[in-house]
């Protein structure tokens, strides 16, 4: 399908294609960030309803309900401001992105653009770059624990910084691993 979307990839020379991504890493990411990725059309309205219901009925704090597609839009094309207008634009753009590209393209673009930390040379974007930066190896050579560490960093690369807060990162990594072993598989 022809599209006018252009989603830039920082450090595009180091980007990898979907087939080069580790299946375990993809599953770990989806289990942690967007379990219904292959079922929704860019926005998970059921999850939004559930979050709002928990807030209204049980006074639970508002938590994220953004899909990977929405996160990709926010991280690459929009500002991080928290306004209804920006959120509305994010939803519309996520729906349009899903009409324009297949799921593998969107997931791969997310995996190559997501912010995972800071090096002395600049920001670390994408799992392939983060794998080299944190573990000095390619994504395909990562252990399950190392993959879980990278997925754990998504929640907050500064908050879970391995040098400054190893105990936080380790706790989050163990949570990611437990979810992975509990649900194991979203993609073949």
- pLDDT tens column, 122-166: 899 999 999 999 999 999 999 999 999 999 999 999 999 999 999
DSSP SS3 for 98: helix
DSSP tag of 60: P
Residue 81 to residue 68: CA distance in whole angstroms? 18
Domain ranges of the chain: 21-183
Answer positive or negative: Cα dihedral of 1, 126, 24, 20.
positive
Q: Pick from 108, 163, 154, 165: which is nearest to 130 by CA?
A: 154
Q: Is the pLDDT of residue 16 over 50?
A: yes
Mean pLDDT of the chain: 86
The structure tokens listed for 136 are 């000095």
Using 50, 70 and 90 to split pLDDT, how confident is the model at 10? low
Q: Is the pLDDT of residue 50 over 90?
A: no
Model pTM? Answer: 0.85
Give the number of other Cβ atoms within 10 Å of residue 68's Cβ: 23
Residue 131 to residue 125: CA distance in whole angstroms? 10
Over residues 101-111, the mean pLDDT reads 94
- pLDDT tens column, 51-72: 667 656 666 655 566 899 999 9
What is 21-183's CATH number? 1.10.3810.10
Comparing 84 with 163, the larger pLDDT belongs to 163
């Amino acid at each position: 399908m022809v599209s006018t979307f252009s989603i830039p990839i920082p450090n595009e020379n180091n980007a990898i294609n979907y087939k080069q991504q580790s299946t375990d890493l993809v599953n770990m990411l989806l289990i942690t960030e967007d379990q219904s990725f292959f079922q929704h059309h860019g926005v998970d309205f059921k999850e939004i309803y559930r979050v709002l219901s928990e807030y209204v009925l049980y006074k639970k704090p508002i938590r994220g309900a953004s899909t990977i597609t929405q996160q990709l839009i926010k991280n690459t094309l929009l500002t991080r401001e928290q306004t209804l207008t920006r959120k509305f634009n994010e939803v519309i753009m996520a729906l349009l992105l899903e009409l324009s590209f297949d799921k593998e393209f969107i997931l791969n673009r997310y995996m190559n653009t997501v912010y995972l930390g800071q090096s002395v040379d600049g920001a670390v974007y994408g799992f392939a770059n983060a794998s080299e930066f944190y573990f000095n190896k390619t994504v395909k050579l990562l252990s399950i624990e190392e993959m879980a560490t990278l997925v754990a960093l998504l929640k907050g690369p500064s908050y879970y910084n391995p040098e400054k807060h190893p105990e936080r990162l380790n706790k989050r990594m163990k949570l990611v691993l437990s979810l992975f072993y509990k649900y194991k598989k979203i993609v073949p």
